[in-house]
Amino acid sequence: MGLMLKTQRDGTLRAEWYGVYTDNGRRKVVNLDVKWAGTPPKSGRVGDDGDPAFEKSREAAEAALASIAEKSSHKGRAEHLVERLIESKTGRAVEYARLDALPDLWRTVGREVACVEKHLENCDARFRRFVDFMHATNKAAVYLYEVTAKDAAAFVATLQTGKKQLARSTARATVRLVNAAFNRFLPVGVANPFAAFIGRRGKQNVEAIHRRPLTAAELQRLFDLREDDFMHPLVVTAACSGMRRGDVCGLKWADVDLAGGMVTVKTSKTGEAVEIPIFGPLRGVLENRHGKGKGFVFPEAAAMLRDNPQGLSYRFKTFLVRALSDATPAADLPQPTPAAEIEDEGAAAIVAKIHEGTRRDRTLDTFRRYCAGESVRAIHKATGRPKPTISYDLHTVEDIIGKPFMRSGQAPGVKADIARMTRAPRQHGQKAASILDWHALRTTWVTLALSAGIPLELVRRVTGHATVEIVLKHYFRPGREQFKNALAGAMPAVLTGGTAARMKPADELAALAGKVAAGTANETDKKRLRLLAAKV
């Protein structure tokens, strides 16, 4: 494969570059439709260097020749016959997508509703993960059609193993995304390798960790904590409305009808219009803030959500910890076990729970240094690791073995309380799952409403969920006692073994009088009637 310049009959050079390549053993020369520019080499040989403009045109010609040769290599395949048919019908050539172009290609896909930039950035990261995997395991694969079913299965297997494993739900979302991209960009007639991969069915949510709903008593403790003038009204609004964090912070006065007692707003995530009754606590918050009646109800929160969303989450969890944690005298706190006594136990737990790699090595080294008597500051000075990373590794070991060993003076503060109260550890060193955060208030609202017997359709009218399945699968998370009491209150006494729910005295009195008038009252009914009548 090479380039050449042709001369005309008068001896002058033709204006375009020509390319030479082999097609099924036959030499072919083709006009590349790329004009040469500048000054050709004085020797007249194309292989010699010309001036910069000439060399730049040469690069364009080489790219055009490579493209023609690539398309030629597809000829003779059954798929190519289909491609030629499509080209003849539509007038458009079939394009071959490169692996490294996946992020950019996905951004150009037409959508009914525009995606937010954060979602597209997440997609970019997942595509790059796949591209990096292919570069490391199958460098010969440049285009999507060159990815095999074996490659796809190996990539899926790496998502939950190795040094950079993902949570199960994140791994499934990554596979779905790459599968959709292959369906979209593969050439006609080429099988999708991810469609051939058999995913796990059935018990897919065995390891899923859901947000924990708060009890009514815990909510009351949140409402009673008024020392934070910034967070208190936001927490009350979120708990009383079931709205997401973005919708609470972005609530506008135009969406609030205090006279009618309703908030009507389109949710930022789905665009669904929801209607939320304004009950007492929420009304109190809104009336206290009612001023000009224009713009955001919580302008400071809207600005913080825009500029520092992580800080907003941290402030909420700090508020939650202050409201729900019980102060314990220092003398009553469990005393830490000397680190040197559990060195072997801790090292074995690290090897068992954290996958082989740099994180395991770092954690082991940090833990052994700490057991040898080094402080966090000394470990930082000796290794150069950030102090928060050292502290995180040591707390991880404490969580794994279930024994505190951090020495006095290095006891955790509010951050450790946040980790203890709002996060749930996962196996194999995965990042802890958040179980109490802003969204937990939404889960709480749904759980309390359904447990109280509110019809599911009314709950969806407030939350804006598209399907019943989403509500029941992800948001209705009653505790055991709450779940048991809700069933006992709704089921007939013959099934629960309890007594039937008692009516209000006035209603019961009217019902018994009706039975007496109809002649169906027994002695127990008459006795009960006399007792109620005497109290009236």
Domain membership flag for residue 339: no
In the prediction, which pLDDT does 82 show?
53
> Exposed, middle or buried by CB within 10 Å (0-12, 13-18, 19+), for 379?
buried
CA-to-CA separations, 133 to 120, 126, 136, 147, in angstroms, rounded: 20, 11, 5, 11
Q: Looking up tokens 């007492």, which residue turns up? A: 280
Q: CA 363 to CA 347: how far, in whole Å?
A: 9
Domain membership flag for residue 455: no
Rg (CA), the chain: 34
Domain membership flag for residue 274: yes
- Residue span of the structural domain in which 271 resides: 216-324
Domain membership flag for residue 482: no
Q: Which is nearest to 57 in space by CA: 413, 22, 299, 65?
A: 65
Cβ neighbours of residue 385 closer than 8 Å, sequence gap 6 or more: 362, 366, 379
Going residue by residue through the chain (536 aa), what tens digit of pLDDT does each one get? 688 888 888 888 889 989 988 877 778 888 988 999 998 888 878 888 889 999 999 999 988 888 888 777 655 454 555 556 556 655 555 567 889 999 999 998 887 777 778 888 989 999 999 999 999 998 888 888 889 888 998 998 888 776 567 777 788 889 999 999 998 888 766 788 888 665 554 444 445 567 778 888 888 989 998 888 899 999 999 999 989 899 999 999 999 998 899 999 888 777 788 889 998 899 999 988 865 568 899 999 999 888 888 888 888 888 888 888 764 444 444 567 788 888 999 999 999 888 888 888 999 999 999 999 998 889 999 999 988 788 888 888 887 887 888 765 444 456 777 777 777 766 655 567 777 888 888 888 888 887 777 777 777 788 877 655 665 565 555 555 555 555 555 555 655 555 555 555 655 666 666 666 666 777 887 777 777 666 65
In the prediction, which pLDDT does 124 show?
93
In the prediction, which pLDDT does 409 show?
44
Domain membership flag for residue 500: no
In the prediction, which pLDDT does 480 show?
55
In the prediction, which pLDDT does 329 show?
43
Q: What is the CATH number of the domain that holds 296?
A: 1.10.443.10
Domain membership flag for residue 139: no
In the prediction, which pLDDT does 104 show?
92
Burial 307-324 (b: 16+ CB within 10 A, else e): eeeeebbebbbbbbbbbb
Domain membership flag for residue 358: no
Domain membership flag for residue 16: yes
In the chain, how many domains are there? Answer: 3
Q: Which is nearest to 301 in space by CA: 254, 221, 236?
A: 236
From 59, 74, 89, give the residue that closes a domain.
Answer: 74
Q: What are phi and psi of 16, to 5 degrees?
A: -105, 155
Q: CA 522 to CA 516: how far, in whole Å?
A: 8
> Exposed, middle or buried by CB within 10 Å (0-12, 13-18, 19+), for 202?
exposed
CA-to-CA separations, 54 to 12, 59, 160, 292, in angstroms, rounded: 16, 9, 51, 68
**DSSP per-residue codes, 209-259:** -PPPPPPHHHHHHHHH--S-TTHHHHHHHHHHH---HHHHHT-BGGGEETT
From 55, 74, 93, give the residue that closes a domain.
Answer: 74
From 23, 39, 74, give the residue that closes a domain.
Answer: 74
